[in-house]
Amino acid sequence: MMKQTMIATLLAVLGTGAGRADDLTWLRAYNVVWNSPSDRALDSMPIGGGNIALNVWSTGEDLLFYIGSSDSWIDGRMPRDVSQVKLGRVRVNLSPNPFSGNFRQKLDLASNSIRISGTAEDGTEVKLRVWVDAFRPVVHMEGNASRPVHATVAVETWRGEGRLDGASVVWRHRNESSSRARATAIAKQGIAAIAESVPDPIGNLTFGGRLSGKGMVGDGSGEGTHEGRRFRYWRLKTAEPMRDVSILAALRIEQDPTVEAWESAVAELEARCRATADEDRDATAEWWRDFWNRSRIVINPGKDADDPAWEVGRNYQLFRAMLAANRSGRFPTLFNGGAFLCEANPDSRQWGHAGFTAQNQRLVYWPMLKSGDGDLLRVGLEFYAARHELQRAWAKHFWKVDGAVFPEGIDVFGMDVRLARKDGTQRPECLQYHWTSCMEFALMMLELGRYTGEDIRRYIPVADAILRFYDQYYRQWNKKNTGRELDENGRLVIYPGNGLEVYAGARNDSAALSGLMALSDALLALPDGILGASDREYYRAFRNRLAPMPTRTWNGHLCISPAEAWKKERLDFNMELPQLYPVFPFRLYGVGRPDLELARNTWLYGYTDEAKQKGHFCWYQGGIFTACLGLTDEAREYALARFLHPRWPPPGKADRGKSPWKLHWMETPDWKVPRYPAFWDCMMFDQRPDMDHGGAGMIQLQEMLLQTAGKRILLLPAWPADWDADFKLHAPQQTVVEGSVRDGKLVSWNVTPEARKGDVTIVGAKE
């Protein structure tokens, strides 16, 4: 007993589970190592930084990497033609070829770099390292050989133009000065009167860069084929064999007024970063050390990939690193592949014309609060904040409403990607009055302030406008339908509405109701001095005007109902559970909150079709719901099924060797799981790597370890007793919680600031 006490005390003093604050030894076990080359780009490793993402792989002959970004968009005739695309592909060839013998490719998570080594037939050994500057859009490849080697490096692209410029390749794609898609949408939508409110983030957008290498000269241009797709290339070569290899790609993605201005800026960046490569490498490594020290979830430390729970923890870290490739972007990380898309056609993605589908995008961003990644989160929030004025103008133009909501499928300009109906509402019917997801982003804005203490006054108008929109818009509708603005009890009637995409013609649906309740409560909880007295009184009155949460008796149990009533149920079209949105994301029910049994009944009995509504992959939220409801056994199985998808079945299925879901792409003879463990393939729903699949998994693991209810911090509300863990997560009021779980017991924990210790309740384990 004395020995255990001393160990626990030592852990608390040193920093739970990780030793010194900058000790990243816990991360080393998660480094991914491959001892053979890859057959295709889909079997690549991801790294990134700033707003640049790379897919790196070797074919055994060449080393290649795609360069992607959240911000590289091409224009088109229609909004649906606007697409996020790659900047290009880089191919490196060394002679003699070192990639054919003793090959090794390693992802070093601590520095977010990839190291490749190999031995040529003549015994020449080569070691290379690829990394992305965390602060500037620059890619470095550096290394050395045991003997001098010949090297060639080429930029390969399938759009835009390029040329050899001395000892560099310059390549770019440039959009027209004013977006054609934007102009088309404005005309077709009939909104010339508010055209000035529609931003144009892609007119004049120019992306590409300059590629250069130490001791290299021009080596011509040509055409080729890769994975069945034609490309053009511009190539450099070493003037003579060299032992040191140093290749740099300076990139630029900007709306520069002229091509000349763009070229001047990218040339300046190339010169600056070639001179400061060592300092930039150190600064980048420091950024990644800080990133990894923000938070962690380590499961069954000391074990390895033979342990499924350990794999869950590893894949959590791998995916979080992918999210960090969009810290400084202007556009959110796309749910369907993000900037890491790497199919044979690396610009083609499932649901590519769905825009920033908020139902999916939200799951990428919710986990960033508890992981302490506010800088990553702000990218998603700023996208909405920057388009808020357009939505206000839209609401006034179409509905004479002084408020705002955002379309579910929002395009780069802020409009409905499908073109809205003539009355300004969304297409198709399942989305016509579906504005619930924008409430989530508004709530994230308010939560960012609650978690970090940041000044979020810039975001308050977004949340405020949503409440005022619902208040005014649905008063108009009810007066039109009944002759009065409110019902007989003085309540707001949300009709016509949509219960997400499942229930059309809904009245007071539980998803929208809980969202409005959560936003009202969050606004009212803002510190004194942030809100004026009149605004505070308005939010209080609005909250009181909302109808109570609808319930129904279903399968013999009282459950939350999807809505008070609805006209059409579309489970063939979408299989979500809007009746559980009051649990997540809007957190009216859950562990430590009132009426937990009602919410649990809703999960256990309150659905129509379990097979459709309780999936474990992509945007399905079963794992999140079970964690928030404290259903530990189910949460455990959902975590395994999600993080080990597709080889681990959902809860209740015993066959561990096969996927339990009959997906059309799994029946293809040459189909195989992508090599990288966090490149989840849910192609029937989203593109690989499925980013909202990973986001939902992160949320679930966090909720299993730490939940909050008001000021209370609840530890281990759904954590399995047979999973050891070291964790560090964030909570509201600038609070950081660290802990270690061993054999079902919380053997040590620490809270910063210490004043918050009294708010902690250990739910699922004993001290």
pLDDT digits (tens, 9 = 90+) for 666-718: 444 455 789 999 999 987 788 999 999 999 999 999 999 999 999 999 999 99
The number of residues making up the chain comes to 767
C-beta of residue 730 within 8 angstroms of C-beta of residue 372: yes
My answer on whether 86 and 197 are in the same domain is yes
Within-domain flag for 96: yes
Closest listed residue to residue 496, CA positions, set 474, 471, 465, 467 = 474
pLDDT value, residue 321: 98
My answer on whether 756 and 643 are in the same domain is yes
Query: Which of 274, 293, 312 is where one domain is finished?
Result: 293
**Angle 113-118-122 (CA atoms, 0-180°, nearest 5)?**
155
My answer on whether 253 and 301 are in the same domain is no
Query: Which of 570, 601, 632 is where one domain is finished?
Result: 601
pLDDT digits (tens, 9 = 90+) for 284-296: 999 999 999 999 9
- Please, which pLDDT band fits residue 7 given cuts at 50, 70 and 90? very low
C-beta of residue 581 within 8 angstroms of C-beta of residue 514: yes
Within-domain flag for 362: no
ω before 96 within 30° of 0 (cis)?
yes
Q: Find the distance separating the first CA and the last CA of the chain, reported in whole Å.
A: 13
547 vs 574 pLDDT, higher one: 547
Query: Which of 601, 624, 643 is where one domain is finished?
Result: 601
Say if strands 356-357 and 409-410 run parallel, antiparallel, or are unpaired.
Answer: antiparallel
My answer on whether 660 and 563 are in the same domain is no
My answer on whether 761 and 674 are in the same domain is yes
CA atoms of 315 and 202, how far apart (whole Å) = 34
- What is the three-class DSSP state of 257? coil
C-beta of residue 58 within 8 angstroms of C-beta of residue 98: no
CATH at residue 118: 2.70.98.50
Please name the helix (run of DSSP H) or strand (run of DSSP E) that holds residue 185, with its range, or none: helix 180-189
**Residue whose pair of structure tokens reads 């070093």 in the numeric block:** 108
CA atoms of 204 and 178, how far apart (whole Å) = 7
My answer on whether 50 and 176 are in the same domain is yes
CA atoms of 700 and 698, how far apart (whole Å) = 5
Q: Which domain holds residue 71?
A: 32-293
Within-domain flag for 446: yes
My answer on whether 400 and 512 are in the same domain is yes
pLDDT digits (tens, 9 = 90+) for 408-453: 999 999 999 989 999 999 999 999 999 999 999 999 999 999 999 9
Count the Cβ atoms, other than its own, within 10 Å of residue 32. 18
* Residues 6 or more apart in contact with residue 432 via CB below 8 angstroms: 421, 425, 426, 496, 498, 504
DSSP for 687-741, please give it. PSSBHHHHHHHHHHHHHHHEEEETTEEEE-TT--TT--EEEEEEETTTEEEEEEE
DSSP annotation of 748 reads: E
Q: Is pLDDT at 11 greater than 60 in this prediction?
A: no
Within-domain flag for 272: yes
My answer on whether 285 and 300 are in the same domain is no
Within-domain flag for 365: no
pLDDT value, residue 571: 80
Count the Cβ atoms, other than its own, within 10 Å of residue 527. 9
- Please, which pLDDT band fits residue 652 given cuts at 50, 70 and 90? low
My answer on whether 321 and 410 are in the same domain is no
pLDDT digits (tens, 9 = 90+) for 304-345: 999 999 999 999 999 999 999 999 999 999 999 999 999 999
Phi, psi of 74 (to 5 degrees): -100, 150
**Helix-helix angle 460-482:436-452, to 10 degrees:** 150
Q: Is pLDDT at 612 greater than 80 in this prediction?
A: yes
Within-domain flag for 378: no
Q: Where are the beta strands (DSSP E) in 557-699?
A: 557-560, 568-569
CA atoms of 324 and 330, how far apart (whole Å) = 14
C-beta of residue 233 within 8 angstroms of C-beta of residue 222: yes
**Residue whose pair of structure tokens reads 């029937």 in the numeric block:** 684
Q: Where are the beta strands (DSSP E) in 416-521?
A: 497-499, 503-506
C-beta of residue 312 within 8 angstroms of C-beta of residue 644: yes
Q: Is pLDDT at 23 greater than 90 in this prediction?
A: no
**Residue whose pair of structure tokens reads 């390292």 in the numeric block:** 129
- What is the three-class DSSP state of 493? coil
My answer on whether 585 and 467 are in the same domain is yes
C-beta of residue 253 within 8 angstroms of C-beta of residue 72: yes
Overall average pLDDT of the 113-129 stretch:
97
Please state the domain count of the chain. Answer: 3
C-beta of residue 433 within 8 angstroms of C-beta of residue 498: yes
**Residue whose pair of structure tokens reads 């690193």 in the numeric block:** 321
Within-domain flag for 255: yes
Does the predicted TM-score (pTM) go above 0.75? yes
CA atoms of 293 and 480, how far apart (whole Å) = 56
My answer on whether 168 and 307 are in the same domain is no
Within-domain flag for 360: no
CA atoms of 691 and 321, how far apart (whole Å) = 12
My answer on whether 257 and 126 are in the same domain is yes
**Angle 692-696-699 (CA atoms, 0-180°, nearest 5)?**
140
pLDDT value, residue 78: 87
Structural tokens at position 357 = 């589908």
CA atoms of 576 and 559, how far apart (whole Å) = 16
Q: Which of 153-157, 197-201, 486-490, 763-767 has the lowest mean pLDDT?
A: 763-767
Please name the helix (run of DSSP H) or strand (run of DSSP E) that holds residue 115, with its range, or none: strand 113-119
**Residue whose pair of structure tokens reads 């076990």 in the numeric block:** 29
